[in-house]
Amino acid sequence: MKEQKKKQLIAILLLVSCFISGFILFSTSDKNTKRLSSLTEADSLIQQQFSSFNISEDQISVSTTRVDSNFSRKTYFVGLPYRFSKTQFHAEINDALYPFGMQTPAQVTFPQKNVDIQLLYRETVIRTISLQTDPELSLQQNDISLLLSFDEIPKSQLISQLNALAEPIPLVLKIEQPMQVQALKKELNGQYPSLIFWFQNKNGNDLIKTNPKAARARLDRLQDISPNSKVLITQNKASPLIEKFNRLTFVDASNAQILHEQLGKKVFLEDLTLLQSNTRTFLALITGTETTVEWLIEKLPDLKKAGARIIPPPRINL
């Protein structure tokens, strides 16, 4: 009798476990899988990718093939400049469509390197995107420069994240005295390829702006102990003040857009986006924190997709 009760208890526990497992599976599948409401939604997702890569309507033509009375298949023919990354586009659209249960097998045609991407949904090709090289198009790129300023050397993890970007984004380190330059360079020990130094007073204000006489003395000393160092200039028309320091390199941030964490993520990202079309400046001076670096890393792929190219900041010619 006791043995029979044990078996019944085990059976009940197994049944309960099955219900729990089924509930977890159902809940997980529901969260991670989206449903494609219509083929129009697929078209909308495709258009979003075209927009994010800055592909204009003039570059796109669409043909429609009727498969049967209920279904028509669209083919998007997209003309692209030679240097456009078709591989990156394929990867991005795959990431966007995969949550809807779509697959994106592709075929490359040589020597043109055209790429035909099939949108496969429930074992049916519902759309085709044909990425074709157009020799008459040139890749439009907007040059922007980014600077990250810190009160002290950032943590190793942050430096590793920035190095992984492989972009010419200098670290701007704030200093009061020239002797700090050698100490900071020694401490970094070549961990980051590009350093710029920004002279500040004790109150954290730009020394060249607030006390030009003291700034000249410290620049003179810096030129002696650490020639070829880079120094940030935020003052307009600073050439008369710095013209004799020809063994130093001066970086012009006089028209830089200032970005910082207090702006909030939404405004920070919007300002970065607008930098590409800003007619006044193409340079942003970002107050470096773990948060702003995280936001920058998040936004950088979108900027590059839209045609942004990161270049070193401008220098002042002496």
pLDDT mean over 272-293? 86
Residue type, 41: E
pLDDT over 70 (residue 149): yes
Residue 9 reports pLDDT greater than 90 = no
SS3 71: strand
Tell me, what's the pLDDT at 312? Answer: 93
Q: Whole-angstrom Cα distance, residue 193 to residue 107?
A: 39
β-strands 195-199, 106-109 pairing: unpaired
* Structure letter (DSSP) for residue 84: -
What lies within 8 Å, CB to CB, of 26 at 6+ separation is none
User: Please, what is the Cα angle at 264 between 261 and 268, to 5 degrees?
Assistant: 80
Q: What is the pLDDT of residue 280?
A: 63
pLDDT value, residue 112 = 79
Contact 258, 285 (CB under 8 A): yes
Which band of pLDDT confidence, cut at 50, 70 and 90, is reported for residue 6?
Answer: low
Residue 86, token pair as written in the block: 């078709």
* pLDDT confidence band for 24 (50 / 70 / 90): very low
Find out whether 13 and 21 touch, Cβ atoms under 8 Å: no
pLDDT, position 5: 57
Task: Tell me: pLDDT of 20 over 80.
Answer: no
Tallying the residues shown for the chain, one arrives at: 318
Q: Which CATH superfamily is domain 142-310 in?
A: Glycoside hydrolase/deacetylase (3.20.20.370)
Task: Report whether pLDDT(188) > 50.
Answer: yes
What's the whole-number mean pLDDT along residues 257-272? 95
Q: pLDDT digits over 92-103, tens only?
A: 999 999 999 999
Q: How far apart are CA 315 and CA 318, in angstroms?
A: 9
More confidently predicted of 58 and 1: 58
Share of the chain above pLDDT 70, in %: 88
Identify the H or E element spanning 156.
Answer: helix 156-165
Q: How far apart are CA 74 and CA 90, in angstroms?
A: 17
For the stretch 72-92, pLDDT in tens is 999 999 999 888 889 989 999
Residues above pLDDT 90, as percent of the chain: 64
Q: Which of 9-13, 126-130, 202-206 is predicted least confidently?
A: 9-13
Residue of 316, 147, 153 lying closest to 233 (CA atoms): 316
What is the average pLDDT score of the chain? Answer: 87
Q: How far apart are CA 229 and CA 250, in angstroms?
A: 9
Give the confidence band of 274 by pLDDT, cuts at 50, 70, 90.
Answer: confident
Can you tell me the distance from the alpha carbon of 126 to that of 72, in angstroms, rounded to the nearest whole number? Answer: 8
pLDDT at 85: 87
pLDDT value of residue 182: 94
Three-state SS letters, 242-273: HCCCCCCEEEECCCCEEECHHHCHHHHHHHHH
Beta strand 308-310 pairing with 142-150: parallel
Residues 26, 54: Cα–Cα separation, whole Å: 38
Query: Is residue 300 classed exposed, middle or buried when 0-12, 13-18 and 19+ CB atoms within 10 A define those classes?
Result: middle
Structural domain boundaries of the chain? 39-133, 142-310
pLDDT computed for residue 2 by the predictor: 52
pLDDT mean over 140-168: 93
pLDDT above 70: residue 31? no
The class level of CATH for 39-133 reads alpha beta
CA-to-CA distance for 194 and 170, rounded, in angstroms? 5
Confidence check: pLDDT of 316 > 90: no
